[in-house]
Amino acid sequence: MWGDNVDLFLDSCIIISYHIPCHPHNKIVSDFYDTHNINSQTTCKRVEKEVNKKLREILEEFKNSGELSDSDIRKIRHAVRKFFRNIPVDDFSTLNTFLFNDLDIELEKVMKNSSDRAIFANAILWNLHYNPANPIFLTLDKKDYRNTWGIMLAVTNCLNNNGHNVNNLKKLIEIMIL
């Protein structure tokens, strides 16, 4: 359905779940990586910050539980850091702050969480700027991305209102909820 050679924009839950021994999430994300040909992947600074914050909490929990060895905890932390070292991470909102703010206002009608809006608006600007062949916003967040149709309509309206011809894009971003 999604085809091969996907260009991914990763939500924070994906990166966290990929790196913690926490079924079923870890398995879902791992399976995705195992079964897809990934052409490129990226994320924004905001996601990196969110992941770091959650990771601290999770590692603290693991440490306190006494169930993981010191080496296991280091493996998790180092894997996440190395993951971020291996992919380009940018603040895409700086590409067009006006459009970014406009997207945020438009998305507010369909997405409650301000952090999610900022991340998704980053993904839209990434798509607009780099125009990858098969852009996919990858998330585990069923709750906030339930209304995919409404979200994409809000984005299309906003882009059109700002003079961006959506037809010029190879593809408008697709939201993929694992």
Partner 1 sequence: MDKDLLLLMFCNVVNEVFGEDVKYVKNKTRYMKLFILTMDKLGEMLGYNEISIAYGWYKFGIFSFEAHDMFSRDIYYIDPIAPHLKIPQEFEDIQKTMKHIVKNLAGKFKMKWDDFDKFIHDELPDGEIKEFYRIVKKVNDAFDLLISDKITLSSIFNLGTSKVDALRKAIEHLENSIKFKYMAEDREEALYYYTDSLMLFLDNYNDNATCKEILKDMRKVFEDDILSIISPYPETLRGNEKKRKVELERCLEVINSKIEMLYNKIDSIENRHVEYFPTHDDLVDDIRKIEISEEVNSRILNILHK
Binding site for partner 1 (CB under 8 A): 13, 16-23, 25-26, 30, 52, 54, 57-58, 61-62, 65, 67-68, 70-72, 74-79, 81-83, 85-86
Residue 106 tokens, joined: 């438009």
**Nearest CB to partner 1, comparing residues 4 and 67:** 67
Alpha carbon distance 75, 55 (integer Å): 12
Alpha carbon distance 33, 26 (integer Å): 11
Q: Are 169 and 127 in contact (CB under 8 A)?
A: yes
Radius of gyration in angstroms for the set of CA atoms belonging to the chain, rounded to a whole number: 17
| Min dist. Cβ of residue 31 to partner 1 (A) | 11
| Min dist. Cβ of residue 104 to partner 1 (A) | 22
Helices (H), 66-147: 70-86, 97-107, 114-130
| Min dist. Cβ of residue 71 to partner 1 (A) | 6
**Nearest CB to partner 1, comparing residues 33 and 149:** 33
**Nearest CB to partner 1, comparing residues 65 and 167:** 65
Q: What is the residue whose two structure tokens read 């409650």?
A: 112
| Min dist. Cβ of residue 98 to partner 1 (A) | 29
